[in-house]
Amino acid sequence: MQTLTPGSILGHAVRRREDPRLVTGTGNYVDDTQPEGCLHIAFVRSTLAHATIRSLDVEAAAAAPGVVAVLTAADLGLPDRVGFPMVAATLARPPLATGRVRFVGEAVALVIAESPGQAEDAAQLVGLDLEPLPVVVDPEVARRADSQMLFPEHGSNIAGHFDSTREDDVLAGADVKIRGRFVNQRLAPVPMEPEAILVVPEGGRLLVRATSQVPFGLRAEMASSLGLSPADIRVVVGDMGGGFGAKAGARAELIVVAAAARKLGRPVKWIETRSENMVAMTHGRGQMQNVELGATRDGKLVGFHARVLADVGAYPGIAMLLPMLTGQMSSGVYAIPAIDYEAYCVVTNTTPLGAYRGAGRPEAAAMVERAMDMLAAELEMDPAELRRRNLIARDRFPYTTAGGATYDSGDYEKALDKVLEVSSYRELRAEQAKRRKSGDRHQLGIGLSIYVEVTAMGIGPEWGAVHIETDGTATVRCGTTSFGQGHETSLAQIAAEELGMPMEAVRVIHSDTDAIERGTGTVGSRSMQHGGSAVHQAAQQVRHKARDLASHLLEADPADIVFVRGTVGVAGVPDRSISWASLVAAAGERKNLPDGMEPGLAAESDFSGDGSFPFGAHCAVVEVDLETGDARTVRFFAVDDCGRIINPLLAEGQVHGGIAQGIGQAMFEEVVFDAEGTPRTGSLLDYQIPSIGEIPQVVTATTETPSPNNPLGAKGIGESGTIGSTPAIQNAVVDALSHLGVRHIDMPLTPERVWNALAAARPKS
């Protein structure tokens, strides 16, 4: 494992080099490209959650001003299924609905016109005749054998089953048991930029500009669906306004747009509206969790029992894997001797679910951390002390949990100690006691959460390359995609460190399948550990070759070659050095090379190391108005450990963003459908996300426990803030009311829910 050296650029705050173009409005987003003759798409979508398609009349729409074509599934010749390949054929999603629609917002046709307005107007003229079918929205109802089936040929609404149950009683020997039913509610990702795609036919190929986290994955899915070779498609991702996991796959609409452009032979663009985004982009979370946690009287955990029901929406996709991750992480940071876990995935007449920031891990953290607080209340023990007694000790890593995960490294007690210190935990408890004693209307709640998550596990390798240009600068290419993470900065730092160059001499290229050899993309908080490690290894190979060439040219021992301020020279002899430009020129002529050395200064690497397990401890402080039920987060303290930190400024930004989304889930956000499957939160008028006014002062700190699973020692940080913050806030609100008899409140913790919980806890007269 490398350690930071004096003058190292790694581990230091470097401002994002991407920001100037973004804050000055000179970024390049999909809708900024306007090719000549571009057509525009509007989708015709179902207004019913479950229905048979009796007829589809496109005559009036086809005759509308500016309309070039109205296309249905029959016109495009696409395969009858798109999306996640592991889904059973009997549950497959068609690119456009045929025969039956299964959720409000499902696309059944598309109108293509000369302008977006003309396409939207004409879409209203399509006659879609639907015969309603019974609707199932509640996943508990969907699971029943007598429920209306979304896919009769499948035989049930159960799409998947994950079983790690045990024959023995995992709670045997427990002196104290708590039982809880927790709802981890459905959320909308709400990226600042909704989905967008432009497809331009170019000389037998398709140029695709899209908002995608996985350009090569999108290319592969398009090629397969369109019957093309991947080489026939170029995918370019420019600047992108957020993804949060929801842009990590090939949505059905993207395949349809590409097919339409190919059929018409003209550029075609689709810019998703916000209302479309709310009802048609995959949602996240959506679990019901029934748990039992047992412990001895002195607070030592005995076992954990969990039964999870996951709503995957109308069409199963990657959401089917998320309950498995929840089970894998069900031990949290605790040495739980035995875990009994089972999960079912069911389909419902609602928007399909997918990955959303954290993807299965926030659900696990919320489940375990709520159970720990309920157990602390039952034992009348401070929540911090109960946690401390059960933490996995630092000398036990690598550690395999009863949930089946093998944690790489950790020091959970250090993170707990630090968050208690930075939050002045004892003083907070004293202030809480004071308010309780005085009967203050605004009660103080203090919520803890110690989390561990898994990043980069089982996702695949990442590719990186480094090439020294003729002017002595370096070009870095990597298969990851940046949409707010700052890869253009952090990857440049890694290469600059290894090559002894200033960052200004390093250019980073990504997110273009013609410019990049291959890549897996940006999912699962893997970019630095996989992409960064690939770049690190490639830069290291270039450095070693440059060292050997310089030692040959300068007639010096390779051990004496140093890389300083953009030159390669002999240690202690300033006048014996060579510039990178001169070195790469020499590398281009075989006569200058030592025996056996190939020309050029370039290297590439694929890194496919194991994943890692970042962790941290969060503390939320809330105030709850006992008269109105209004709960507000007033302070937040976060201690996170992402292994070796490449750029603390970027890491802190990721934590802040994650905490904002965690506050959103805990306090405000919930996707709601009525009994007929009609969305009640189809716009930002109804779906509440936090503004800057709802985000309190956030105090961040770090610990640093390197991972042994990659040469940088890095762990993921992109999702940590979301995973740790949500249960801390939920615990804090319940804690504020625990002395009044409140034991649990489901999220979001709206004033109505808090007030109702208070009313239910008050003694009946």
- The CATH number of 19-26+458-607 is 3.30.365.10
The domain ranges of the chain are 19-26+458-607, 33-133+192-242+247-280, 284-456+611-761
H or E stretch covering 697: strand 697-702
Task: Write down the pLDDT at residue 3.
Answer: 38
Q: What percent of the chain is modeled with pLDDT above 70?
A: 99
If phi > 0 it is left, if psi is from -120 to 50 it is alpha, else beta; for residue 203 that is left
pLDDT digits (tens, 9 = 90+) for 303-317: 999 999 999 999 999
Decide: 355 and 313 in contact? Cβ < 8 Å. no
Q: 33-133+192-242+247-280: which CATH architecture?
A: Alpha-Beta Complex (3.90)
pLDDT digits (tens, 9 = 90+) for 379-392: 999 999 999 999 99
> 725-742: string of b/e by CB count within 10 Å (b at 16+)?
bbbbbbbbbbbbbbeeeb
Decide: 314 and 102 in contact? Cβ < 8 Å. yes
The torsion angles phi and psi of 81, rounded to 5 degrees, stand at -145, 145
Instruction: List the one residue out of 621, 619, 622 whose CA is nearest residue 701.
Output: 619
Sign of CA dihedral 175, 181, 185, 186: positive
Q: Which residues make beta-bridge pairs with 510? A: 478
Decide: 603 and 587 in contact? Cβ < 8 Å. no
Q: What angle do CA 629, 632, 635 make, to 5 degrees?
A: 150
Please state the rounded mean pLDDT for residues 9-27: 93
Decide: 342 and 308 in contact? Cβ < 8 Å. yes
pLDDT digits (tens, 9 = 90+) for 149-179: 999 999 999 999 999 999 999 999 999 999 9
Sign of CA dihedral 80, 83, 87, 91: negative
DSSP state of 319: G
Q: Tell me if 19-26+458-607 shares its fold with 284-456+611-761.
A: yes
Please state the rounded mean pLDDT for residues 269-278: 98
Q: In 3-state terms, what secondary structure has residue 367?
A: helix
Decide: 109 and 296 in contact? Cβ < 8 Å. no
User: Token pair of 712, please?
Assistant: 């940088």
Distances (CA, A) of 203 to 34, 40, 658: 18, 21, 43
Give the distance, in angstroms, between the CA of residue 222 and the centroid of all CA atoms in the same chain: 23
Q: Which residues make beta-bridge pairs with 109? A: 44
pLDDT band at residue 7 using 50, 70 and 90 as cut-offs:
low
Decide: 331 and 401 in contact? Cβ < 8 Å. yes
Flag whether pLDDT at 61 surpasses 60. Answer: yes
pLDDT digits (tens, 9 = 90+) for 344-360: 999 999 999 999 999 99
pLDDT band at residue 765 using 50, 70 and 90 as cut-offs:
low
Alpha carbon distance 400, 476 (integer Å): 37
> E-assigned strands of 369-498?
399-400, 406-407, 442-452, 462-468, 474-478
Task: Write down the pLDDT at residue 764.
Answer: 77
Flag whether pLDDT at 279 surpasses 70. Answer: yes
Sign of CA dihedral 119, 125, 131, 132: positive
Instruction: List the one residue out of 715, 708, 698 whose CA is nearest residue 645.
Output: 715
> What's the predicted TM-score (pTM) here?
0.96
pLDDT band at residue 593 using 50, 70 and 90 as cut-offs:
very high
Average pLDDT, the chain: 96
pLDDT digits (tens, 9 = 90+) for 622-660: 999 999 999 999 999 999 999 999 999 999 999 999 999
Decide: 41 and 29 in contact? Cβ < 8 Å. no
pLDDT digits (tens, 9 = 90+) for 473-504: 999 999 999 999 999 999 999 999 999 999 99
pLDDT digits (tens, 9 = 90+) for 388-426: 999 999 999 999 999 999 999 999 999 999 999 999 999
Give the DSSP letter string of 77-108: T--S-BS-TTS-GGGPBPSS--SEE-STT-EE
Task: Write down the pLDDT at residue 86.
Answer: 87
Decide: 542 and 603 in contact? Cβ < 8 Å. yes
Task: Write down the pLDDT at residue 313.
Answer: 98
Alpha carbon distance 478, 352 (integer Å): 31
Flag whether pLDDT at 565 surpasses 90. Answer: no
User: Token pair of 664, please?
Assistant: 């959103």
Decide: 357 and 284 in contact? Cβ < 8 Å. yes
pLDDT digits (tens, 9 = 90+) for 39-58: 999 999 999 999 999 999 99
Instruction: List the one residue out of 282, 359, 277 whose CA is nearest residue 317.
Output: 282
Alpha carbon distance 706, 615 (integer Å): 12
Task: Write down the pLDDT at residue 1.
Answer: 30
pLDDT digits (tens, 9 = 90+) for 104-163: 999 999 999 999 999 999 999 999 999 999 999 999 999 999 999 999 999 999 999 999
Alpha helices in 513-619 (DSSP H): 533-554, 580-587
Flag whether pLDDT at 6 surpasses 60. Answer: no
**Strands lying side by side in the sheet with 284-295:** 158-164, 339-346, 301-311, 284-295, 176-187
Task: Write down the pLDDT at residue 261.
Answer: 98
Flag whether pLDDT at 2 surpasses 70. Answer: no
Question: First and final CA of the chain: distance in angstroms?
Answer: 66
The one-letter code for the residue type at 377 is A
Domain 284-456+611-761 CATH class label: alpha beta
Alpha carbon distance 428, 699 (integer Å): 15
pLDDT digits (tens, 9 = 90+) for 167-225: 999 999 999 999 999 999 999 999 999 999 999 999 999 999 999 999 999 999 999 99
Distances (CA, A) of 596 to 171, 540, 568, 592: 66, 19, 21, 12
Flag whether pLDDT at 460 surpasses 60. Answer: yes
Decide: 344 and 331 in contact? Cβ < 8 Å. no
The rounded radius of gyration (Å) of the Cα atoms in the chain is 28
pLDDT band at residue 5 using 50, 70 and 90 as cut-offs:
very low
